[in-house]
Every structure is written in structure tokens, then in C-alpha cells.
Chain A
Amino acid sequence: MSNFIKKLFGTLAEKPWEKEQAAIDTYHSGKTFNLSMQTSAVIVIFGLSTVLFSLILTGYLYTMPPEQDTKFLFKPNLLWINTIVLFFVTYFFSKITKDLNKNNTTQIKKNLILVGGLSYLFLFGQIFFWYQLMQDEKFVHTNTYFSSFYIFTALHGLHLLGGLFFWGKVCSKTLKLEQSEIINQKKNISALSLYWTFLLIVWLIFFSTIYVFNDAFIAWCKTILT
């Protein structure tokens, strides 16, 4: 990061009108970062989505009213299983990245299908958890805790669906490719892998926040302290 900042300030300090600098500049390739277009796009989406999710979390913390019934979430529930599923998706994506370097085509294709399947399983799990919440009469309008929960999980799910759309496109191409051609999809697969890692991080932050910052948990902490 410090290297990046140093280079950023170095760039901003250039004097493009001077002949010495002009000679250096003319040699420039025109590309700022050594990244593929796909990875660049994913990084830009990171920035945007990070702000989006941060604002929802900030809104949740800002409006967190006292005495909300959040005990439901403390019972053993599907959210934990869903979290583990998402972990596995990221794990298999990292395996795909390693296999890409080894050019292990069969394994790549197998794991690519697996990550898609697990992602759909995660989405199904989230929807089923919504169903369980509603069965327990915890609706989106019940209180701001559940309102934030529903909106965050919905937006996270939409991000995942967006990722799955591109996963579908990449997967359909990759499955048709021979061993020698699979490297053509490397940039796309790496970008997808990065995107899923981001979704896991976002989910983990949210998951821990809803457990830590709520009235029931705070009350439980107080009982331990007293």
C-alpha cells in the first residue's frame, strides 16, 4: 500500500512539459496497473459495493434501537451452515486458481461446476432462512434489526446472482475448451475468484456485526461481566 501511495504521489509530481520527462512518458504503455480488464472491473465493483454495504451497516448501527427481539438468531440455525458453504466456494475457487497454473483441465472444470452449485446452495439456504424467519413472524417490518437483516442479505444475494450470471458465461465457455485452450479463460476465472472472496469477506463482516451489535448479545455480555 505504501508503495502504491509513493508511486501515486510520484506520478502526480511529474512535470510532463519538460523534455526529460517527455522522453520517459513517450515510452509509457498507456496502462496504469498491471491488471487484466476483468480484474480491474472487479476491483472497481469492490469499491462501489464496499460503500454500499458499509452504508447499510452504518444505518443499522445508527438506528439500532434498544430491546429488540433478536434471540432467534442465537439459536442454532441455517446461517452458520450457509457461512460454511460460502467458505467452501472460496476454497474451491482458490483450488481452481492453483490448477490453472498447473493446467489441470479436468480438475478446473469439476471445481468450476462445484463452486456454482455451492453458490446456488448458499442462495437457497439464505432464502430458506428467510422462510424460517417469517414462519417465526420475524418480518421485514418487525423491527429495524430485521429490516437491516433482510435488506443486507437481499443485496448480498443480488451481488452473488450477478456473479453467478458471469460464472454461467465463463463456465459454458470453459467446459467446451481443450486443455491447451483453457488458459484463455484464466483472466475471467481469476476475476471471478477475486469477486467471490470479496463476497465472503462482506458476508463475514455482516455476519459478525449482527451477532455482536444487537441487544441480546450486549445483554448476554453484561451477564458475563456481572
Chain B
Amino acid sequence: MSEDFNENKTIQAQSSETISGGETGVAPDIDYVRPAELSDQDLYHGHTFITKWVFCQDAKVIGVQYFLLATFTGIIGLILSWLMRLQLGFPGAAGFMTAEHYYQFVTMHGMIMVVYFLTALFLGGFGNYLIPLMTGARDMVFPYVNMVSFWMFFVAVGVLLASFFVPGGPTGSGWTLYPPQAILEGTPGSGMGIILMCVSLILFVAGFTMGGLNYLITILQARTRGMTLMRMPLTVWGIFTATVLAMLAFPALLVSALMMTLDKVLATSFFMPTILKAGEVLEYGGGTPILFQHLFWFFGHPEVYIVALPAFGIVSDLISVHSRKNIFGYRMMVWAIVVIGALSFFVWAHHMYVSGMHPWFGFFFATTTLIIAVPTAMKVYNWILTLWRGNIRMNTVMLWCLGFIVTFVNGGITGIFLGNVTVDVPLSDTYFVVAHFHMVMGIAPLMVIMGAVYHWFPLVAGRMLSEKLGKWHFWITFLGAYSIYFPMHYLGFIGVPRRYFEMYDSPYITSAVGMNEFISTAAFIVGAAQFILIYNIVVSLKMGKPAGKNPWQANSLEWLTPSVPPEHGNWGDKLPVVYRWPYDFSVPGAKEDFIPQTTPPSEVVETEVEKT
């Protein structure tokens, strides 16, 4: 911790005295802040279109760039899911679709949605836009490196999509890319497809590292005066912890992608045991595919929380602002984020129960998996208790937040099912698992993204989104998502396996036929409903109601910039000074039901502290 920590102890006595003297009059130093220690950041301001909007060093522009590119890849992922559902619901309806195509679409859909859409959007998009604003910094600490980070991501996406156009097409080995089949003939895209996938992942990790470096150091070292760690909004805590996880987990993805590339290109055998093909011994030998599984899931499970933790943080802030109440159990929320982050590194092998592991190993990972449910459940209780007796504004943002809580609880509970070895083994590789992870790390975080878009769009664009369109968007998505994934649990229970192109003549699962048609129809509708948001954004950019400053009457710093949308450098001539935490809503004694973080104590001396 900083050396000034000890100095704080000295000030503690002074400040306490000052505060206790408040009844007889405000002491002159009640609003005192220390002089700025850091010299103001020297920023590069672009003047041409290229330096201002393309190769731009402003974190906000980079955030929007990340957001747009991630959304673009997300739409590709969505189209791939439509094609898959078309085949599953109405086999043969898409005439061109072969089994190879299906596997390639499954693989690309999974990888795109998890890595190139959700991760990039939460950390690259929201992280870049919100971290400097919420912590009171002018920009990220290394703006040039931050810009390079986005362009690395851009190249990574380009390489990934290029695999659609190479001979053999993209890899069809499933998003887990398990060797040996991923690189052996017979698997779709086992040539250039898998190589491009690995190269793209390596580029993504390299690019993310540059961004992550910025997020961590900006949060830790470049906050404005008065912004202690425990005064940061939970959004920043979520993004911060997720970035720490990413910095520790992505090397595992990098190593596995690198080693697999070498196995493919240079015939090394990191993951390749001795293999016979058509009676002939291949040149591989000495490696083990289980090592890949360990490496992949050492990345893969924290990846769930890399997506979930920013969502937890964001939804906490949205719920607090739109129910006009301080977040219930702020400290507990921070602890839960940190504990979930730490525990997420001790649960990875619950994805490998059917890999032939020792039963005690399974027992250990089942235990840690169930333990992680404790801090997660605490968060759910706290969200509900924040809403309890709040002055709830039932707007689009709140609807998405409520949708998230319900969906997350649903997906979380099935996760507790699957965390137990004895339950997981029969359900492994069935649609129950597909339903579980789509609910918990697909739909639930997506609902937070949607809520966040409706919440922060006025800040980014200076105009409000249409509430009416927003509510249509929400209800179609919410009801549609449940129409897709609730029946999928049933499909899993009756034993329908995942990753099958077609069920062929399977009389024991005839009931799945109608259900698959229903699910597919719902999937088409839900996918199409997302274009309501795109339409809403396009129309509102020109014709939306002007947002003005702080339209939601929030307390956190991003709404307190001199101009909306904020300019490069965020704060005009002077950096803000923070006097309070960001959750002073409906404080007894205050004139309004919110007290922004920059309001000095002398302006609200009559207020009473609420216990939390």
C-alpha cells in the first residue's frame, strides 16, 4: 500500500475532530484535500480524422472501437447460431449444410461469443470507456499501448475470420479445440483453419495484455484525489478483478495455442501421444492430450468470471442508481468479487470429470465448485436487498437488471447441479450443459450489457435511447431466451447429446423433434430482436431526446464531466476531487435523493449516514 497510508492515520484524528465539531459550525478544513501529487498527464490530441477516430489514443474512442468490433463479431456469432438452429430444428432446410459445416459453425460460434464478443466487450469496451472516467483519471496511463491493444484485437479478429476463406475452412473441433483430433485429418479445418485459430488467439492475448496492463495500473496508480479503492464503484472493482484474472489465465490459453500450433506446424508432441492412423504410426509420440485440457480449462474457467465479474459490478451500479438506494453490503460485494476471482483458479477441472480423472481429484474440484456458490449467492441476496424498499424506477435499464438476476440464479442453480461429479457424469455432453452455460454466461451477462448500453448511451452519445423500443427489445429477448433454454434442460435430461449434427433415426427421443423446432423458432425471433437495439441506437443518435448532464441522477464521476459526451482528457482544466463513495442515494437530510461523489461535506452537513 502507499506510504501515505501511515500519514492517513495522523489525519484520521484531525478529521474526526473536525467532523465532530460539525454541530456547532463547519470547520474550515472540512473540505480539505491534499495538493495533487501527480503531474497532470500529457495527452496526445489527434487533429486529423485518422488520429482522432482511427489510430486514436483516447480511451473513450478505443472503448467505442472495441464495442463496435466486438458487436460486429457478435453478430457473426449470432448468424452462426441461427444456421446451427436451422439445422437442428429443421434438418436439411439449409441445403448447403453438411456435418462439417455444422461443426465449424459450432466452434466459431463458441469461440467468437466467449472470447471475441463477451470478453472484448466487457473489458475492452466498458473497461476503456469507464475506468478513466469512473476513477477520475484523464486517460489510461499508457495511451499509445492502449491504442496498439485495440489494433492487435482488430488483427486477431481479421485472422479469425480469414479462416472462413482458407481451404478446408475454419476449425470444427469444438470451441475447446481438444487435441489430438483438432489437428488431425478427418476433423474439419484441421489444416489452415486450426492454425489461424491459434494464431488469432495468440494475437488476442498479446493485445489484451497491453490493454490489461493499462486497466490495472490506471486503477491502482492514477485515480484522482480522494478516490480510495473502497470508494470506487463496483463496476471498476468488477473490471479490475476480471483483468487480474485475465492476466493470470490468458497465459494458459497462449501456451496451449502456441504449443498446439507447434504440434501442427513443426510436428512437436506436446499434446500428441503415439497415434495409429489406418494402421500406420504417425510421427507424434510422448505428449498427452490431457495436458491441453488442463491448460485450456485453467484459462477456460476463470474466463467465465472474466465475463461475469464485470457484469456483477455493472449490474450492482445499475440497480443502485435505478432503485435510488445505496448498494446493500458494499464491502461484502467487494469481498465477494475478490473471493470469486481467487476461487475461480481452483475449480477448472470440473470441466474434465469425464476425462478419466482420479475420483479424489473430482471430489476436490466438486467441493471448490460448490464453495464458489457461497460468495455468488451473497451477491444475489445483496442485489435483492438493494431493491428491497427502494424507490424503483421500472425503466428499461431496471428491466434488464431484473432479467439478469433471474437468469443468473437459474443458470447458477444448474451449475450447482453440474458441479457434483455424480450428477455431471450422466449429464455431461448433453443439452443440459448447453442450457446451463448459455443461461449463466451467455444470456445473463448479455442482459447486463443491454442494461449498461441503455444506461450509458446518454453519456456516450448525449442523447437518450427510446424507452418504448427498449421495452420491446427486453421482453422479446427475455421471454425468447427462456423459450430457448428452458426446453433445452429437458432435452438434456432425456439424453439428447450436444454437438450432434443430426439425431437421425433415434426413436427414444422423438419428443425432442417438436421441441427442437420450437427452440429454433424462438432463437430466430430472439436473434432478430437484437436488431431493435441497433435500430434504436441509429435513430437515437440523430433524433433521441437530448440527455443533458447526468440524466439518471447518478453519483459516480463519469456523469460529472464538464461536457457531455466527455472530451479527450475528460475533466477540462481541473481533475475532480472525490469526497464520498458513489452510493449516497436517498440519504436522510439531503435536499435531493442523490449526492454526487464530488459534493464536498460542507454542502451536505445535515445529512445522516445510513448503515449498510
Contact = CB atoms under 8 A, between A and B. Distances in A.
A30 B1 contact: no
A49 B230 CA distance: 29
A20 interface: yes
A8 B105 CA distance: 46
B227 interface: yes
Contacts of B37: 29-31
Nearest to B30: A23
Bin chain B's interface residue count. 35 or more
Contacts of B287: 63, 144
Nearest to B219: A32
A56 B291 CA distance: 11
Contacts of B4: 28-29, 31, 34
A113 B334 CA distance: 47
Contact of B255 (A8, A28, A47, A55): A55
Contacts of B34: 27-29
Nearest to A6: B1
A28 B8 contact: yes
A156 B298 CA distance: 22
Contact of A29 (B16, B225, B266, B330): B225
Given A59-B255, A151-B262, A27 B32 contact: yes
Interface in B200-233: 209, 212-213, 216-217, 220-231
A143 B284 CA distance: 9
Main secondary structure of the interface of A (DSSP, over half): helix
Contact of B612 (A17, A35, A37, A65): A17
Contacts of A144: 268-270, 286-287
A48 interface: yes
B229 A32 contact: yes
Residue from A29, A33, A49 having most chain B Cβ neighbours under 10 A: A29
A100 B89 CA distance: 71
Contacts of A63: 270, 286-288, 291
B286 A19 contact: no
Contact of A41 (B217, B579, B601): B217
B472 interface: no
Contact of B217 (A4, A34, A37): A37
A18 B252 CA distance: 42
A32 B11 CA distance: 17
Contact of A30 (B225, B579, B609): B225
Interface string B25-59: 00000111110011000000000000000000000
Nearest to B34: A27
B2 A34 contact: yes
A36 B4 CA distance: 15
Given A22-B579, A32-B220, A41-B142, A141 B335 contact: no
B16 A55 contact: no
Nearest to A7: B1
Given A22-B579, A48-B209, A48-B248, A140 B270 contact: no
Interface string A35-56: 1010011001101110110011
A168 interface: no
Contact of B226 (A15, A19, A25, A35): A25
B18 interface: yes
B139 to A, nearest CB: 13
B460 interface: no
B255 A11 contact: no
Contact of B230 (A25, A30, A41, A55): A25
B266 A30 contact: no
A24 B230 CA distance: 12
A33 B220 contact: yes
Residue among A14, A26, A45 having the largest count of chain B Cβ atoms under 10 Å: A26
A180 B4 CA distance: 29
B226 A48 contact: no
Interface in A130-152: 140-141, 143-144, 147, 151
Contacts of A14: 228, 230, 331
B578 A141 contact: no
Contacts of A22: 579-581, 601
Interface in B458-513: none
B19 interface: yes
Given A17-B609, A44-B212, A55-B255, 17 more contacts: A4-B1, A16-B230, A17-B583, A22-B579, A23-B601, A25-B226, A27-B7, A27-B11, A29-B37, A31-B221, A37-B142, A41-B142, A59-B255, A62-B294, A63-B270, A141-B268, A144-B286
Interface of B: 1-5, 7-8, 11-12, 15-16, 18-19, 30-34, 37-38, 135-136, 141-142, 209, 212-213, 216-217, 220-231, 247-248, 250-252, 254-255, 258-259, 262, 266-270, 283, 286-288, 291, 294-295, 298, 326, 330-331, 334-335, 338, 577-581, 583-584, 601, 609-610, 612
9 pairs of A and B residues whose beta carbons are closest in the complex = A23-B15, A30-B223, A7-B1, A52-B251, A16-B581, A147-B268, A51-B251, A14-B230, A141-B267
8 contacts: A17-B583, A17-B609, A19-B609, A26-B31, A29-B37, A37-B217, A37-B221, A52-B254
